[in-house]
C-alpha cells in the first residue's frame, strides 16, 4: 500500500466548549496520511486513476470552514468519514492540532486512524 500525505493544512473554524471559543474562528492544522494503491495511476499517468489530493484538500477545507463542533474528536471523526467515503480511501491517519488551546503548550490535538492499512 502507498501513502499520500498532506501536511500543515491550516483551516479556520469554530471548535471548542467554552463561550470564548464559540465566538472567534481559530486555526486548526491538519496532517493527513491516506493509504491507496498508486500502481494504476503510475502506469496510466492519469489523475482519474489517482487519489486527487487537491480535491481532498478542497473538500476538507470547505467542510472544516463551515463546521462548528464542540470537540476536536468530533471534527476529526467527521473529516476521516469524508475522506474514507467520498474518496474511497481504505485507511486514513489524521493529526488535528488546535494551536493555542492550552496556554503553556505549543500544540494540543488528536491523532486518529480509521480503516485498514493493508
Q: What is the pLDDT of residues 13-64, one digit of tens each?
A: 999 999 988 999 999 999 999 999 999 999 999 999 999 999 999 999 999 9
Counting DSSP H helices and E strands in the chain, the numbers are: 3, 5
Q: Is 98 a catalytic residue?
A: yes
The domain over range 2-115 is classified in CATH as 3.20.20.70: no
What is the pLDDT of the chain when averaged over all its residues?
94
The pTM (predicted TM-score) of the whole model is 0.93
**Is pLDDT of 118 > 80?**
no
Q: Which of 24, 40, 98, 99 is catalytic?
A: 98
H-helix segments, the chain = 39-44, 53-66, 72-86
Q: Determine the Cα–Cα distance for residues 35 and 114; give it in Å rounded to an integer.
A: 11
Amino acid at each position: 500500500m502507498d501513502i499520500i500525505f498532506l501536511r500543515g493544512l491550516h483551516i479556520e473554524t469554530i471548535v471548542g466548549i467554552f463561550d470564548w471559543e464559540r465566538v472567534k474562528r481559530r486555526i486548526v492544522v491538519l496532517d493527513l496520511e491516506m493509504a491507496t494503491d498508486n500502481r494504476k495511476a503510475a502506469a496510466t499517468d492519469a489523475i482519474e486513476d489517482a487519489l486527487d489530493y487537491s480535491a481532498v484538500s478542497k473538500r476538507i477545507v470547505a467542510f472544516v470552514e463551515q463546521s462548528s463542533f464542540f470537540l476536536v474528536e468530533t471534527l476529526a471523526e467527521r473529516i476521516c468519514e469524508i475522506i474514507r467515503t467520498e474518496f474511497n480511501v481504505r485507511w486514513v491517519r489524521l493529526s488535528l492540532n488546535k494551536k493555542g488551546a492550552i496556554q503553556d503548550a505549543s500544540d494540543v490535538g488528536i491523532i486518529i486512524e480509521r480503516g485498514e492499512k493493508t
